[in-house]
């Protein structure tokens, strides 16, 4: 019995410690599926009785799965032994979580057994048959395969639980059990078939009463009354349940515990499985939806869809289209008319966005299936279909129309420019708002003309003065501003698109009303991403090996899309990238917002890029304002070549003279006390230059000081600035409690004799690379705590990047990168970058090969870990992308690498990740609540959207319908984060409560102000005098993730041009997040 479980036992604590690489190698060397079966169950497991084969008969796709019946005497279920005395609180907590894992697995196995014994087996054996055998196999497809996978896991779990108090390890059991390829295969097949299986159950139950009575009777006879759908849903939810339980167990496992890293590896494996299943499910549903659309559309349009195999559905949305028609008569009293007597209609439409087409349809039967073959998707009538490349989104202007005035003696002529055609397409209150705004602009022009004429009067009459004109103008300006805000709120969910008409030389504009502002932003983002994926330079954009998932690459899942190549220094051809840093823009005040200085919330970052030649050094600022990134300004530094840059936050605490600093005060309270964000630059001469981010005149730095040696890297962490020097030391500059930087008294930490090359903040430690060693400096004690060798003595560490609980390290003049655990410093993975590059180069044409500078060996120049990928830049200008787990786990590379066909003509000098936010203007609602006896009642106007309504006095706005489409989403393996930050401010006269909640890109702020008035005697009145003002605002955001690479020039290997320029360029990549 002991030998049976020895395969799953963890090594004893007194044995030699086994590295992760050796452990995985040993795991892979364990025999195949047949050996495992013989090892676990003996030779009797190879020859099953005939009745067992008939009882567990599956289709031909499941022949390779093990179907065995285990004896509970030989293999009892997992049972945690009694709790011994003297356990710590952590050990007790871990035992509780382990018990929850055991109970959860037992219940899951019982559910799988019920599916087989209570449903599948009776249906197969019923006489006469209640259901065809093929349908039974379709419904319970791969259920037995899942059961067998968990049966093997249960055996290993029981072995480990039996000796829990001696071993206290369970993470390696999860890794060994769920690292098998059969687990992913069987779960993927089940999950992809889940929707089809549920459709089959629904359709058959509606057609065969006997089958419906069968499943209802099984549900009623069960103790938990769980339906067939509930049982079938459990495999879909199994991995998220495992992840939650292991996360809870990891929280109760301290650093240094032997089970901590195995738990982290187990979480990484389960998260990867869940992510792969989710993506495969999405791919399967998107292709299936196109087939259903073709099936349920009219025949004429189906003929256009001959290439449906290359099409997939991106999203589908129900919208209202505003249509303006000429009235036939005045018979319809319920029709809406605009100011010119035209009839306004809102027609329901369903828009299907495919990967290459936008299809507009009308639902014919309101969701009721018109034929047995179409269950979830109703019949549609085709309205129009347009290639995505021809669809353009129009952003309506709200700044107002142009007013022209001309005056002659005794005459005044005012001309107002008419609204555009797309503005006339707005109906109802929205169009009225546009007209009222134009009327106000007209009146403002008249008042200004009156003021000009008033100045020509010869006498003073006291009837109309200049002050009256100014007051009049101010009132109208306020009304114009208010009307503009109302237009923004009315347009919060409207989408205007321009399409080609039947005559291709003309275009037509259509207006649609989305369900919510969030749906609108997501729809526009999806459209732009789909159009970007159809660009010639993205087909193909990356080289993927044959062993990768071809469907995954074909549908651009996880494949970065190049957006733009931006020249940074167009007038300096010999300029070379040196360093860069991403800085946040200073948020403007309320008045700046009203003036339109910041039109889009996405413009929150500014990229500082430094380049140099043999004589000078220049810094360029790149802004990311819509519609595309642009170069803002360039200035020259005067202190030598800049080697590194870092953004340092400003000081918000008490100043040197007492009292708190704020941004309305002076920018500098002393020479080295800064209240705003600054950029620190280190030069090859050892000089440190400090610039303020919003500094208008950058000819001279804000401050400067001298270090002892040339500076190679600068990093900020916990009110400290770390600088690595060429002499092997690290300088630590501390900011005092008054905000003053002690630049003349740095702490010095000597690492080695060679140059200190790079710095990396990891939690509260600073990782420093010097020669072939990594040194950890604690920010609190400011002393070196730990050091370890990352490679052979002749190697030199060049770059480091953190991802989850791991750090990837690259080395100078070397093509390999290594992964180290942040807690144990153990080597986890070693990867060569040259191998995938060599395969890509061999696949392109000889001309493309000659354009690459492959005369020197490939080595890594920069690293970036973000958005589930490890980006590697090389000296040849080639970018390599490795897949990583998206969640915070061990960042092991879990798939083949992709190599970009877009390359730089020189070394890749920088890789930076950032996010662009497409944000609607903040929608603001306010209402004043009074007591019930008050006669005053206030109501908020409708926003002219299908579902955006807010009742007076409510504290939340139903602004967002989170559903992406009307399709039923059976699978949801992701976790939605929700943050709520309440704050309360109280004084003698009123109290204000503000709550901010962020969910799925929607930031909702609720401000409630309670006011109480006192009478003349100082006594507060009762309920009658108490008022409460509620203000609800929502800021809806759609985020686009980007990666920016910098280097000399740009080439596309699949279509080489004649451009031989090597000017510095930024390549903008859009990545899926």
In the prediction, which pLDDT does 1044 show? Answer: 93
Q: Are residues 379 and 268 in the same domain?
A: no
Q: Are residues 113 and 208 in the same domain?
A: yes
Residues of the chain with pLDDT under 70: 1-73, 299-309, 324-344, 365-376, 396-431, 490, 503-504, 546-557, 570-575, 586-604, 614, 626-627, 654-670, 918-1038, 1057-1061, 1073
Q: What letter would DSSP give residue 796?
A: -
How far, CA to CA in Å, does 467 sit from each of 168, 446, 566? 84, 16, 52
Report the candidate in 333, 332, 338 with the shortest Cα–Cα distance to residue 428: 338
Burial 692-723 (b: 16+ CB within 10 A, else e): bbebeebeebbbbbebebbbbbbbbbebbbbb
Residue 190 lies in a domain: yes
Distinct helix (H) and strand (E) counts, the chain: 23, 47
Cβ within 8 Å of residue 697, ≥6 positions away: none
Query: What is the three-class DSSP state of 136?
Result: helix
d(CA 173, CA 270): 12
Residue 95 lies in a domain: yes
Number of domains within the chain: 3
Give just the sign of the alpha carbon dihedral 457, 460, 461, 465. positive
How far, CA to CA in Å, does 247 sit from each of 97, 173, 235, 911, 1028? 10, 15, 19, 31, 43
Q: Is 986 exposed, middle or buried (0-12, 13-18, 19+ CB in 10 A)?
A: exposed
Cβ within 8 Å of residue 176, ≥6 positions away: 8, 27, 156
- Tokens for 105? 């697995």
- Tokens for 119? 């449903």
Report the candidate in 687, 810, 642, 661 with the shortest Cα–Cα distance to residue 739: 661
Cβ within 8 Å of residue 768, ≥6 positions away: 722, 724, 730, 749, 751, 756, 758, 759, 760, 774, 775, 776, 777
Residue 384 lies in a domain: yes
- Tokens for 602? 């996405």
Cβ within 8 Å of residue 948, ≥6 positions away: 492, 493, 516, 517, 957, 958, 959
Beta strands of 576-719 (E only): which ranges? 576-584, 605-612, 617-623, 630-637, 642-648, 668-670, 673-674, 678-683, 687-692, 703-706, 711-716
* Residues 298 and 382: beta-carbon distance below 8 Å: yes
**Enclosing H/E stretch for 1031:** strand 1026-1048
Residue 17 lies in a domain: no
- Tokens for 926? 């306010």
Burial 664-674 (b: 16+ CB within 10 A, else e): eeebebeebbb
For 1060, other C-beta atoms within 10 Å of its C-beta total: 9
In the prediction, which pLDDT does 134 show? Answer: 92
The whole domain housing 307 covers 297-395+496-513
* Residues 1009 and 1028: beta-carbon distance below 8 Å: yes
Q: Are residues 412 and 367 in the same domain?
A: no
d(CA 875, CA 856): 9
**Enclosing H/E stretch for 384:** strand 380-387
* Residues 191 and 283: beta-carbon distance below 8 Å: no
- Tokens for 156? 């290993």
Find the CATH number of the domain harbouring 131: 1.20.900.10
Give just the sign of the alpha carbon dihedral 632, 637, 642, 647. negative
- Tokens for 490? 């009315």
- Tokens for 671? 């020479």
d(CA 731, CA 748): 5
How far, CA to CA in Å, does 998 sit from each of 717, 968, 1002, 1036, 1066? 27, 24, 5, 9, 33
Report long-range pairs for 37-45 (Cβ below 8 Å, ≥24 apart). 37/66, 37/68, 39/4, 39/7, 40/4, 40/7, 40/152, 40/155, 41/68, 41/70
**Enclosing H/E stretch for 453:** helix 428-454
d(CA 716, CA 704): 17
In the prediction, which pLDDT does 599 show? Answer: 38
Q: Are residues 77 and 188 in the same domain?
A: yes
d(CA 8, CA 158): 10
- Tokens for 559? 């494949």
Residue 265 lies in a domain: yes
Answer with the one of 289, 322, 344 that is the final residue of a domain.
289
Angle 66-67-71 from CA coordinates, rounded to 5°: 115
- Tokens for 736? 């005092």
Q: What letter would DSSP give residue 84?
A: P
d(CA 921, CA 666): 31
d(CA 355, CA 561): 14
Cβ within 8 Å of residue 623, ≥6 positions away: 603, 606, 629, 630, 631, 632
Residue 326 lies in a domain: yes
Pairing label, strands 898-900, 879-883: antiparallel
Q: Are residues 343 and 450 in the same domain?
A: no
Residue 23 lies in a domain: no
Give just the sign of the alpha carbon dihedral 934, 935, 936, 940. positive
Cβ within 8 Å of residue 521, ≥6 positions away: 918, 919, 920, 1001, 1036, 1037, 1038
Q: Are residues 509 and 368 in the same domain?
A: yes
Query: What is the three-class DSSP state of 596?
Result: coil
Q: Are residues 119 and 264 in the same domain?
A: yes
How far, CA to CA in Å, does 508 sit from each of 700, 760, 781, 992? 53, 54, 68, 49
Residue 8 lies in a domain: no
In the prediction, which pLDDT does 986 show? Answer: 44
Q: Are residues 277 and 153 in the same domain?
A: yes
Q: Are residues 210 and 248 in the same domain?
A: yes
Q: Are residues 119 and 247 in the same domain?
A: yes
Instruction: Give backbone dihedrals phi and psi of 1000, rounded to 5 degrees, phi first.
Output: 55, 40
Compute the chain's Rg from CA coordinates: 34
d(CA 352, CA 293): 9
In the prediction, which pLDDT does 571 show? Answer: 57
HEC sequence for 282-298: HHHHHHHHHHHHHHHCC
Q: Are residues 432 and 379 in the same domain?
A: no
Q: Are residues 103 and 225 in the same domain?
A: yes
How far, CA to CA in Å, does 818 sit from each of 112, 370, 761, 772, 814? 42, 59, 18, 12, 11
HEC sequence for 200-258: HHHHHHHHCHHHHHHHHHHHHHCCCCCCHHHHHHHHHHHHHHHHHHHHHHHHCCCCCCC
């Amino acid at each position: 019995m002991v030998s049976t479980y020895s395969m799953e036992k963890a090594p004893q604590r007194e044995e030699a410690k086994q590295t992760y690489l050796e452990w995985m190698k040993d795991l892979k060397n364990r025999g195949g599926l047949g050996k495992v079966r013989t090892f676990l169950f003996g030779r009797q497991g190879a020859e099953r009785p005939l009745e067992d084969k008939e009882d567990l008969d599956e289709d031909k796709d499941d022949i390779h799965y093990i179907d065995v019946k285990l004896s509970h005497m030989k293999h009892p279920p997992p049972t945690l032994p009694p709790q011994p005395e003297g356990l710590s609180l952590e050990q007790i907590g871990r035992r509780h979580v382990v018990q929850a894992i055991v109970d959860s697995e037992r219940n899951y196995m019982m559910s799988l057994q019920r599916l087989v014994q209570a449903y599948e087996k009776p249906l197969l054996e019923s006489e006469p048959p209640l259901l065809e055998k093929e349908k039974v196999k379709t419904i319970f497809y791969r259920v037995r395969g899942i059961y067998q996978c968990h049966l093997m896991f249960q055996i290993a779990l029981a072995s480990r639980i039996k000796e829990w108090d001696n071993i206290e390890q369970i993470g390696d059991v999860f890794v060994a059990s769920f690292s098998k390829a059969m687990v992913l295969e069987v779960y993927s097949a089940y999950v992809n078939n889940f929707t089809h299986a549920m459709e089959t159950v629904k359709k058959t139950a509606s057609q065969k009463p006997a089958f419906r009575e069968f499943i209802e009777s099984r549900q009623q006879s069960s103790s938990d009354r769980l339906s067939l759908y509930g049982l079938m849903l459990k495999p879909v939810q199994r991995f998220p349940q495992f992840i939650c339980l292991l996360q809870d167990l990891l929280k109760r496992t301290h650093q240094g515990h032997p089970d901590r890293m195995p738990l982290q590896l187990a979480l990484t494996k389960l998260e990867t499985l869940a992510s792969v299943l989710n993506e495969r499910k999405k791919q399967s549903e998107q292709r299936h939806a196109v087939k259903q659309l073709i099936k349920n559309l009219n025949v004429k349009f189906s003929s256009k869809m001959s290439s449906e195999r290359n099409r997939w559905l991106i999203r589908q949305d129900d919208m209202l289209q505003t249509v303006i028609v000429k009235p036939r008569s005045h018979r319809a009293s319920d029709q809406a008319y605009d100011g010119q007597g035209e009839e306004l209609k809102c027609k329901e439409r369903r828009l299907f966005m495919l990967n290459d087409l936008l299809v507009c349809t009308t639902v014919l039967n309101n969701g009721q299936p018109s034929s047995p073959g179409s269950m979830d998707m109703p019949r549609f009538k085709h309205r129009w279909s347009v290639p995505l490349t021809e669809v353009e989104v129009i952003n309506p202007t709200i700044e107002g129309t142009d007013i022209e005035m001309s005056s002659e003696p005794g005459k005044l002529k005012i001309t107002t420019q008419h609204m555009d055609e797309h503005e006339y397409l707005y109906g109802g209150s929205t169009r009225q708002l546009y007209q009222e705004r134009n009327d106000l602009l007209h009146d403002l022009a008249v008042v200004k003309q009156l003021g000009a004429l008033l100045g020509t009067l010869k006498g003073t009459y006291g009837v109309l003065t200049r002050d009256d004109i100014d007051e009049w103008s101010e009132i109208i300006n306020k009304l114009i501003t208010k009307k503009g805000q109302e237009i923004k709120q009315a347009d919060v969910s409207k989408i205007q698109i321009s399409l080609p008409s039947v005559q291709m030389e003309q275009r037509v504009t259509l207006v649609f009303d989305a369900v919510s502002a969030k749906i609108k932003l997501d729809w526009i983002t999806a459209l732009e991403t789909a159009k970007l994926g159809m660009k010639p330079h993205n087909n193909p954009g990356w080289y993927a090996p044959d062993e990768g998932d071809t469907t995954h690459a074909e549908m651009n899942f996880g494949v970065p899309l190049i957006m733009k190549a931006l020249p940074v220094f167009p007038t300096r051809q010999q300029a070379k990238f040196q360093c860069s840093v991403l800085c946040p823009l200073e948020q403007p005040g309320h008045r700046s917002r009203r003036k339109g200085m910041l039109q889009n919330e996405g413009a929150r970052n500014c990229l500082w890029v430094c380049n140099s030649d043999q004589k000078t050094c220049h810094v360029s600022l790149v802004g990311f304002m819509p519609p595309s990134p642009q170069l803002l300004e360039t200035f020259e530094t005067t202190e030598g070549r800049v080697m590194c840059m870092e953004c340092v936050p400003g000081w918000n605490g008490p100043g040197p003279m007492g009292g708190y600093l704020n941004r309305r005060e002076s920018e500098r309270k002393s020479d080295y006390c800064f209240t705003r964000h600054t950029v620190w630059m280190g030069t090859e001469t050892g000089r440190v230059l400090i610039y303020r981010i919003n500094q208008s005149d950058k000819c001279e730095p804000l401050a400067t000081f001298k270090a002892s040696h040339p500076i190679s890297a600068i990093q900020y962490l916990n009110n400290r600035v770390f600088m690595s020097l060429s002499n092997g030391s690290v300088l630590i500059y501390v900011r005092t409690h008054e905000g003053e930087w002690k630049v003349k008294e740095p702490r010095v930490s000597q690492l080695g004799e060679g140059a200190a090359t790079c710095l990396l903040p990891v939690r509260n430690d600073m990782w420093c690379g010097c020669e072939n060693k990594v040194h950890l400096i604690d920010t609190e004690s400011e002393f070196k705590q730990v050091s370890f060798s990352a490679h052979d003595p002749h190697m030199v560490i060049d770059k480091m990047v953190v991802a989850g609980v791991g750090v990837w390290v690259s080395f100078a003049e070397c093509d390999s990168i290594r992964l180290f655990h942040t807690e144990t410093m153990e080597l986890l993975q070693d990867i060569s970058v040259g191998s995938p590059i060599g395969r890509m180069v061999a696949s392109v044409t000889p001309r493309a090969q000659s354009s690459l500078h492959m005369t020197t060996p490939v080595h890594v120049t920069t690293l970036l870990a973000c958005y589930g990928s490890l980006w590697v830049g090389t000296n040849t200008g080639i970018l390599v992308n490795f897949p990583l787990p998206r969640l915070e786990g061990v960042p092991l590379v879990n798939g083949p690498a992709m190599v970009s066909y877009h390359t730089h003509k020189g070394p890749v000098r920088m890789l930076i990740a950032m996010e662009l936010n497409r944000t609607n203007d903040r929608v603001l609602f306010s209402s004043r609540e009074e007591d019930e006896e008050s006669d005053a009642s206030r109501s908020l106007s409708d926003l002219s959207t299908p579902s955006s309504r807010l009742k007076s006095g409510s504290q939340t706005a139903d602004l967002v319908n989170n559903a992406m489409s009307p399709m039923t989403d059976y699978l949801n393996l992701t976790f939605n984060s929700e943050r709520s930050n309440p704050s309360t401010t109280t004084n003698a006269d009123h109290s204000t409560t503000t709550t901010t909640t962020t969910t799925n890109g929607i930031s909702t702020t609720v401000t409630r102000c309670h006011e109480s008035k006192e009478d003349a005697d100082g006594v507060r009145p009762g309920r009658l005098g108490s008022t409460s003002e509620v203000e609800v605002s929502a800021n809806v955001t759609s985020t686009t993730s980007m990666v920016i690479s910098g280097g000399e020039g740009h080439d596309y290997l699949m279509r080489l041009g004649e451009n031989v320029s090597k000017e510095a360029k930024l390549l903008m990549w859009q990545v899926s997040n």
